[in-house]
Amino acid sequence: MIQLASNPKQVEFSPDEMIITKTDVKGRITYANRTFMRVADLSEPILMGQPHAIIRHPHMPRGVFYGLWKALQAQQEFFGFIQNLTGSGNYYWVFANITPDYEDGKVQGYYSVRRTAPKEAVNTLKAIYQSMNEIESSASRSSAPEQSWSWLMDHLAKEHGISYEEFILNLYHDHQPKELA
């Protein structure tokens, strides 16, 4: 398991680069592009067959992954901002789009494309993710992800009057540089 560095630094990648991975239906990595390997600071032999959670940052609320798997199991795509760990214990933020990968009409795994996360979007989400983590720390381990995801759905509906997907997509598009928007 990767450990967070004692003084972690943010790793960045270019807005014109995309991180691409594929997994099987259990979330084990079956493909990783060179950008992913470079940014995550992990080699292909280390990554192949590993659960994608190998790069899960400890500060990410588990509720976000609850929502991710809930969408994928319903054969829907998922959008989200995710903080990941690198092999050296640093971190990076991405805007992720994860979709089921079909073969002969059956889900064979998942395909994920990640782009750089706008700093303003990440700053907006930090307080939300902190609230989700607080909910998770006071709930039982088994119910914590669902509780924090439910809180997020309620919070977005009450505070913003929109769904999770609308909120995330608006957050991404509203903070894109003019030439990328």
- Asked, for residue 2, whether it belongs to a domain, the answer is no
Q: Judge whether 115 lies within some domain.
A: yes
Q: 163 in a domain, yes or no? A: yes
* CA end-to-end span of the chain: 37
180 domain residue, yes or no: no
CATH number for 32: 3.30.450.20
Please give the average pLDDT of every successive group of 10 residues along the chain, which has 181 residues: 90 96 97 98 97 96 98 96 97 98 95 97 96 97 97 96 96 78 48
Cα angle value 75/80/86 (rounded, 5°): 110
Q: What is residue 178's predicted lDDT score, i.e. its pLDDT?
A: 61
- From the CB of residue 57, how many other CB atoms can be counted at a distance below 10 Å? 16
> Is 5 among the domain residues?
no
Could you say which DSSP state residue 38 is in?
Answer: H
- What does the pLDDT read at residue 4? 87
Report yes or no on 3 lying in a domain: no
Report the number of distinct structural domains present in the chain.
1
